[in-house]
Chain A
Amino acid sequence: MRRPPMLMHVRIQDQNRGFGLWLPLFLVLPLALVVLIILSPLIFVATAILWPSSWGKRAMLSLKAAVEVFWSMRGLDVDCHSGRQCVSISVV
């Protein structure tokens, strides 16, 4: 079973200064759930209205795909150096 990403580490470094940021992705899921519960009546009505024009189905599929993309991000690692500049993103 695939596990969702827990943390994202972003590091940007310039010639003189740099900074690193740990983003707690594990907090995104409970927050998203809360937002989904709050907005669920609105989502339901919008989907019901848009369903005949196929946009409702597309919106639901897009939401599912977005969750799937988020879920698959664990292990992503991008590390680019150009001279003394560096950008690094890793998802763990």
Chain B
Amino acid sequence: MTDKNDNKRRILDMLAQNKISVDDAYRLLSAVDSTEGGRESGGRAEPAVKGKAKYLRVTVVPDPESERTGNYDRVNVRVPMSLIRAGIKLTTLIPSEARDKVNLALHEKGINIDERNLKPEEIEELIGALGDLEVDVVSKTGEKVKVFVE
């Protein structure tokens, strides 16, 4: 905490002595705050503790130009995490013959996951990790695709 104050004072001193501009001082002060913020949380790269994720959201927002012409696709999907959990549990009921086919198809696509090796606690961990998921894609046509958890 003292280091933080020292650094801030030093930046303000440099600003007072006209060694740096106001913009530079603002940028440096922000950097000090963000660095110290990370250090105060134990110095680890762990994300801040968030509330329990409730929904997986997928949105596709069209380009305003194509929206005006009426030729657009807009998608807004909200899936409860409990439904995803229940759906994953359903996969354990797949007969072994069908499961082999699924694994083979996945292997052909370059995905080397043996679905039989997935344990319930690993599935829970996987769903828990979805909380940090955020996909943000802008296509050539200006469509914005977002996948996130809320």
Binding site for B on A (CB under 8 A): 2, 58, 61-62, 65, 68-69, 71-84
Q: Mark B39-70, 1 if CB is under 8 A from A, else 0.
A: 00000000000000011000000000000001
Residue among A61, A72, A78, A84 making CB contact with B85, cutoff 8 Å:
A72
Residue of A nearest to B62 (CB): A81
> Are the CB atoms of B83 and A72 closer together than 8 Å?
yes
> Are the CB atoms of A79 and B80 closer together than 8 Å?
no
> Are the CB atoms of B82 and A72 closer together than 8 Å?
yes
A-B contact count (CB 8 A): 60
Residue of B nearest to A75 (CB): B80
Residue among A2, A58, A76, A82 making CB contact with B73, cutoff 8 Å:
A82
Residue of B nearest to A89 (CB): B77
Residue B78 at the chain A interface, CB threshold 8 Å: yes
> Are the CB atoms of B93 and A77 closer together than 8 Å?
no
Residue B9 at the chain A interface, CB threshold 8 Å: no
Provide a sorted-by-A list of 10 A–B residue pairs whose CB atoms are within 8 angstroms: A62-B93, A71-B82, A72-B80, A72-B83, A76-B83, A78-B77, A79-B77, A80-B76, A81-B74, A81-B75
> Are the CB atoms of B83 and A83 closer together than 8 Å?
no
| Closest-CB distance, B148 to chain A (whole angstroms) | 15
| Closest-CB distance, A89 to chain B (whole angstroms) | 10
> Are the CB atoms of B80 and A69 closer together than 8 Å?
no
Q: With contacts A62-B93, A68-B86 known, is A76 near B70, CB below 8 A?
A: no
| Closest-CB distance, A7 to chain B (whole angstroms) | 15
Residues in B neighbouring A73, C-beta threshold 8 A = 80, 83
New contact pairs (17) apart from A73-B83, A78-B76, A80-B73, CB-CB < 8 Å: A58-B93, A58-B95, A65-B89, A69-B86, A69-B90, A71-B82, A72-B82, A75-B55, A76-B78, A76-B79, A78-B78, A79-B75, A79-B76, A80-B74, A80-B76, A83-B72, A84-B70
